[in-house]
Amino acid sequence: MDKKVEQQLAELNLSQVKLIPLEVAENDRLLSVKKDRSKGEYCWTMTPFTPEIVFKLAPEAKRVTYLDADLFFYDNPACFFEEFEKSHKGVLITEHGFAPEYAHWEEASGRFCVQFLTFNNTPEAFKVMHWWQDACIDWCYARIEKDRFGDQKYLNQWPGLFGEHVHILGQVHRTLAPWNVSFYMANQPQAPVFYHFHSLRLAGKRIVRLYEGYQISKPGMLLYQAYISTLQEKLKLLNMQQMDIPSFPEKISLFMLLRRCRDLLKKTVKYSVLKY
């Protein structure tokens, strides 16, 4: 989705990565709405088209799994695919699994999270995929409406429309994120398959915002420590290759400063210093 990222990945020449340039992935339908969408909204609009793009380039593939870029794996996801295969369905989706204190967010964000989503190479799966493509071409914006929010809230309709084709992952306690990590690690303690580092961002040179708007318990912070250690290794690699490391400094107004102080006191935001 970003030319600079594509160029940097090409220079790194990672053995298990095959890059697909944006211009290869785009089609007339996508280009017809591109000017009407922000960059983020266009990324979301692209999501339901991505599995089909991969299938076209690799028709021998049995399935394609879409991953959000801010996932980090702590265990092999084979257990997810084993559960999926036993369901004999064509599409796998995951729930947000909000902790009770964040349950009210489901109304805005939806029951399901696009974070980890698998399509089999079958007509049944393509039926769901094409429905999603049509919906996102019609409307995919970064605002909340009754039944819509970006590409994500459309998934709420899938169990009703495509229940015979869609499997909802049962292992929600192994798909952790800031909105559920403290709850599940206290009540169903088991190593996660992945953690969704939602709201983590490089906020300045060597400064990383770990999370914002949540309270993360000590067991949850261990996951952040492991991620930060790996992140620092990768940033060192970029430095060795003399590649730019992007950061997204936040514009701090007096209001934002006061809000940040409040969040720090409430422990719902945390910053760390990166060493690389």
Locate 202 and state its tokens.
């490089």
DSSP state of 251: P
Residue 95 sits in the same domain as residue 48? yes
Let me know if residue 258 belongs to a domain.
yes
Q: What is the pLDDT of residue 21?
A: 95
Let me know if residue 225 belongs to a domain.
yes
Residue 105 has pLDDT above 70, yes or no: yes
Q: How many domains does the chain have?
A: 2
Please state which of the ranges 51-60, 107-116, 190-199, 238-247 shows the lowest mean pLDDT. 238-247
Residues 6+ apart with CB under 8 A from 147: 153, 156, 157
Let me know if residue 249 belongs to a domain.
yes
Residue 56 sits in the same domain as residue 125? yes
Domain CATH code at residue 155: 3.90.550
DSSP3 helix / strand / coil % (the chain, rounded to 5): 50, 20, 35
> Do residues 166 and 91 lie in contact, with contact meaning Cβ atoms separated by under 8 Å?
yes
Report the side by side order of strands in the sheet with 207-212.
201-204, 207-212, 269-273
Residue 210 sits in the same domain as residue 152? no
Q: What is the pLDDT of residue 177?
A: 98
Q: What is the pLDDT of residue 261?
A: 77
Locate 147 and state its tokens.
């039944």
Let me know if residue 185 belongs to a domain.
no
Please state which of the ranges 170-184, 187-201, 260-274 shows the lowest mean pLDDT. 260-274
Taking residues 104-130, report their average pLDDT: 97
Please state which of the ranges 40-54, 90-104, 106-120, 243-257 shows the lowest mean pLDDT. 243-257
Residue 256: band (very low, low, confident or very high) from pLDDT cuts 50, 70, 90: low
Task: Give the predicted TM-score (pTM) of the model.
Answer: 0.93
Q: 123-138 vs 50-57: helix axis angle to the nearest 10?
A: 130
Residue 105 sits in the same domain as residue 149? yes
What value does the mean pLDDT of the chain take?
A: 94
Q: What is the pLDDT of residue 70?
A: 96
Let me know if residue 190 belongs to a domain.
no
Residue 246: band (very low, low, confident or very high) from pLDDT cuts 50, 70, 90: confident
Owning domain of residue 208: 200-273
Rounded CA gap, 213 and 103, in Å?
14
Residue 52 has pLDDT above 90, yes or no: yes
Residue 125 has pLDDT above 80, yes or no: yes
Per-residue pLDDT of 21-48, as tens digits, reads 999 999 999 999 999 999 999 999 999 9
Residue 235 sits in the same domain as residue 165? no
Q: What is the pLDDT of residue 253?
A: 66
Please state which of the ranges 44-53, 139-148, 156-165, 264-273 shows the lowest mean pLDDT. 264-273
Which of residues 44 and 266 earns the better pLDDT score? 44
Residues of the chain with pLDDT > 70, as a percent, come to 96
Residue 260 has pLDDT above 90, yes or no: no
Q: What is the pLDDT of residue 204?
A: 84
> Do residues 152 and 109 lie in contact, with contact meaning Cβ atoms separated by under 8 Å?
yes
Taking residues 212-218, report their average pLDDT: 93
Q: What is the pLDDT of residue 113?
A: 98
